[in-house]
Amino acid sequence: MAGGSVQTVPTTPFEGQRPGTSGLRKKTRVFMRPGYLENFVQSVFNAVRADSGEDFHSATLVVGGDGRFYNREAIQTIIRMAAANGFRSLLVGRGGILSTPAVSAIIRRRRAFGGLVLSASHNPGGIEEDFGIKYNTRNGGPAPESVTERIYAETQTISEYRTLEHASVDLEREGSTRVGGCEVVRIDPLEDYTAVMEGLFDFDSLRALFRGGFRMLFDAMSAVTGPYARHILEEKLGAPAGTVINGVPLPDFGGHHPDPNLVHASELVARMSGPGAPDFGAACDGDGDRNLILGRDFFVSPGDSLAVIAEHAATSIPGYREGLAGVARSMPTSTAVDRVAKKLGVRCYETPTGWKFFGNLLDAGLATVCGEESFGTGSNHVREKDGLWAVLSWLSILAATRKSVAEVVRDHWREFGRSYYQRHDYEALDAAAAADMVGTLRESLSVLAGTPLGESRVERADDFSYTDPVDGSTTVRQGIRIFLEDGSRVVLRLSGTGTSGATLRIYLEQFREDGGRGDLEEILAPLTRSVRDLLKLRKRFGTDEPTVIT
């Protein structure tokens, strides 16, 4: 017999299973509690079954994760539950491995019903660290809020889940196994994603770049993009062995924080410094959707990276030779791409934070390239941000221009001006005091015009709200925007009211048409001081120094 009989297991709800922008994330030990994962997975199945109005007997579900601790065990649970809930087939990455953009690519290429992604993204992994799960819909993107709220509603009333008895499936070998009435197919995790990349980029041109002596360093941060980067960069494109470092996915990411920024990718940053450094450096995060771009002694900010890719896409990347339909960025992201869009004669959409807000724009053909300030960039080839896609985009630009990373960015600054940009995070603030501060500022928005701020004056200010141009849905109170007369901008967002306090994020953007020659800290200093004074940070919280500067 291919599997045991379906079991209906009584259960009771767990508190706090509301999925956020990136699904449900908790400490690993929370997910390991008996019934915790099962409750959430059954709630997903219940919600999407009701939403689709059909059963799962003709449906295919994609399942995979970033390889963090508890990934394999969770997949075995999902296999048994999916079989018990009537899915026709499951596509599971060999070894349980699938990057987040790869899940999206597989759903779209194979016309799957949806997918479950097991990841806590750039958060640390391990039994004492973080785990996560999210549901992606048939377009390959994260479930929209309407779906996640139905999932949450199910978690609050769930009384039973379905599973069946079956031995663990061998995830290490490709092939097919029957579990109950469900066909579980272990697939090559690299095949679909690589095919999508080959359809977008000129691999012959990139091979020629490496044959010419171009040197690159890619830090996979002991996370999921290691196998993808080795396959594409070293095996397909001919980059020398050793181009990919930290390339084996580890359950605890080698004890490191798999967040591709200047702090956590310090090994890569150090090796990209000095006259003998490689020409190009890059890194991706835990699940492969974020990216860091470096030149020799040169950091490319996420906002500049998005703008440069948009500027060069049609001339450097075959997949976009017909041009861009539009571009999109999250509201806090710098306005660098706005200026590129204006030159290209296409619209730039400003959305709330969260990749799901790009989905409707991409599906409707209104935007082609999109990005956010938290090191996420992507396009309409999938419905997730895609770190390795951004890396291949930059390689294509360097191959086409025959210029260094620094030269490409400085050329961009000379033509479009530069947004000198930083994010200042103030963590663990007294929640009541932080809420009062933002509330006071919100009440004064209508009278801020004309107020001196930095080296300019306030032109206007508002509390950002967004109406989706496709479905008409409205999202309000997404952050305070203060626009200055010289084209600069300040954004403030407050989040968290738990036991650890609130986090205030201040985004500072000083626009200059100076060819980008200024010093970042010096340029932003007047605006930084003015904003701290405006908010009375020292008086309210005893300090005006941020916890983290990005």
Which amino acids are annotated catalytic?
A: 121
- Bridge partner list, 498: 501
The secondary structure of 139-162 as a DSSP string is TSSBPPHHHHHHHHHHHHH--EEE
Range 477-499 burial, b when 16+ CB lie within 10 A, else e: ebbbbbbbebbbbbbbbbeeeee
Asked if 188 contacts 113 with a C-beta cutoff of 8 angstroms, the reply is no
* Beta-strand pair 130-136/24-27: antiparallel
H/E stretch holding 426 reads: strand 418-429
- Tokens, residue 486: 């010289």
Contact 232, 195 (CB under 8 A): no
Burial 191-208 (b: 16+ CB within 10 A, else e): bbbbebbeebbbbebbee
Which residues make Cβ contacts (< 8 Å) with residue 348, sequence separation at least 6? 326, 327, 328, 329, 337, 338, 341, 342
How many Å apart are CA 476 and CA 493, to the nearest integer? Answer: 12
Question: Are residues 416 and 340 in contact, defined by beta-carbon separation less than 8 angstroms?
Answer: yes
Q: What DSSP letter does each residue of 201-242 carry, written as one string?
A: S-HHHHHHHHHTT--EEEE-TTSTHHHHHIIIIIIIS-PPTT
- Report the alpha-carbon distance of residue 25 to residue 480 in Å, rounded: 27
Please give the helix or strand (H or E) that residue 24 lies within, else none: strand 24-27
Closest CA to 45 of 17, 14, 81: 81
Instruction: Tell me the Ramachandran region of residue 77: left when phi exceeds 0, alpha when psi lies from -120 to 50, beta otherwise.
Output: alpha
Q: Round to whole Å and give the CA distance between 492 and 429.
A: 14
